[in-house]
Amino acid sequence: MEFTYKFYNTTALAWEGMRQAILAAKTSIYWEIFTLRDDSVGKPFIDLLCEKSRGGLDVKLIADAIGSFYLSKEAISRLKNSGVKFLMFNHLRPEFVLQNWWRRAWHRTHRKVLVIDREAAFIGGVNVAEHAANWQDLHLRLTGKIVLPILFNFAKSYVMAGGDKKDVVDLLRPKLLPDINEIKEKINFIFHSPLRGTVRSPFKNFYKQALGNAKDKFNLLTPYYVPDKHFLELVSRAKNRGVDINIILPWRTDERVMQYFARMLYGISSKAGAAFHFLKKMNHGKAVSVDNKLGMVGSANLTPRSFYINHEAGVTFSDQQMVADLNQILDDWKTEAIPLADFGFGNKVGWYRKFKDWWMNKLRDYV
């Protein structure tokens, strides 16, 4: 199956790529996003969506109710009055069914997926808010029939968010999907939609297979690092096989509590065999590369929430040139990174640090 691709390694570049794609859209725009704000960055996107909808295009937008909490009522009204079919995912409202209500309330769509004219899709880690303007990030554009599974899953999210199934019935028809074996030759998609009472985690399964099959090198890019014991066991086994394991992340994240969780785990992760590379700038990307054979870009962080609670989306690929391009981006970031030892880790830990780590360990399953 023929397709084209392009990587974006900063938030600003991804925004411009998406803006140009929306500007050139002729028939439809479907967007599912975690954080959208009508600030200096988000307002031009909202203006463009309104303009395109008034021009007769089919525009559907799903924004997460918590991630996009600061999207103003005025912006929402403008979108709806322009004909945009706008939905808040898992809207915060009173519920009379108390069973599992707390867990249901935290089922968020953390996906960042934009599909233009049903033939070009953006997928990765990029939100739309001005505080991210100078961030590094990782977003991928795919063009061709390869994007049809993304459309199918967008339609499922649309219905889940309260949209009328009639609006997306053509996207839900199985006959729209190309032969799955043809797709799997080079591209696979990971869509995580947790169901009540289940503990399935396709992203965790991906890490299990990726670390289990790695022979030479395993690279992980993540802004938030809260692995479970199983991940650390897989790292240890891979290291014993001679695999070079590199974890790339920002030294200071935008979420301080996530920084505390990560620092609690640096020591034990290093003992398991992981080498840390810290970036001076905030990097919001989520990616994996295995040897020169497999790559993954998506929205899922290495946290329990992404594994089990959030709705996440990612794409894995074995196309040799795509993997080489991803490895080049990751290698460039590793080159500018600072190793863990330079930050003084490994020195004697005081009582305050031990106390804080104890509390972080108690809370780690909830982030």
The answer to the question of residue 188 being in a domain is no
| DSSP code for 307 | I
Report pLDDT for 342: 59
Which strands, in side-by-side order, build the sheet including 312-317? 187-192, 312-317, 294-298, 287-290, 217-221, 244-250, 274-279, 338-339
pLDDT in tens, 24-38: 999 999 999 999 999
Using a 10 angstrom Cβ sphere, with 0-12 exposed, 13-18 middle and 19 or more buried, the burial of residue 275 is: middle
The answer to the question of residue 196 being in a domain is no
Last residue of a domain, one of 130, 149, 183: 183
Report pLDDT for 360: 45
The answer to the question of residue 191 being in a domain is no
Last residue of a domain, one of 148, 183, 218: 183
Separation CA 227–CA 359 (nearest Å): 16
- Going by C-alpha positions, the residue among 92, 24, 100, 85 that lies closest to residue 50 is 85
- Residues of the chain with pLDDT below 70 are 1, 92-106, 174-185, 195-199, 342-367
Find where tokens 């031990």 sit.
354
Into how many domains does the chain fold?
2
Report pLDDT for 66: 94
CATH number of the domain encompassing residue 353: 3.30.870.10
The answer to the question of residue 193 being in a domain is no
pLDDT in tens, 7-27: 999 999 999 999 999 999 999
212 and 121 belong to one structural domain: no
CB 315 within 8 A of CB 190: yes
Report pLDDT for 141: 98
Q: Does pTM top 0.85 for this prediction?
A: yes
Q: Domain containing 158: what range? A: 4-183
323 and 215 belong to one structural domain: yes
Amino acid at 100: N
Report pLDDT for 183: 64
The answer to the question of residue 325 being in a domain is yes
Separation CA 243–CA 241 (nearest Å): 6
Separation CA 136–CA 313 (nearest Å): 19
Report pLDDT for 201: 86
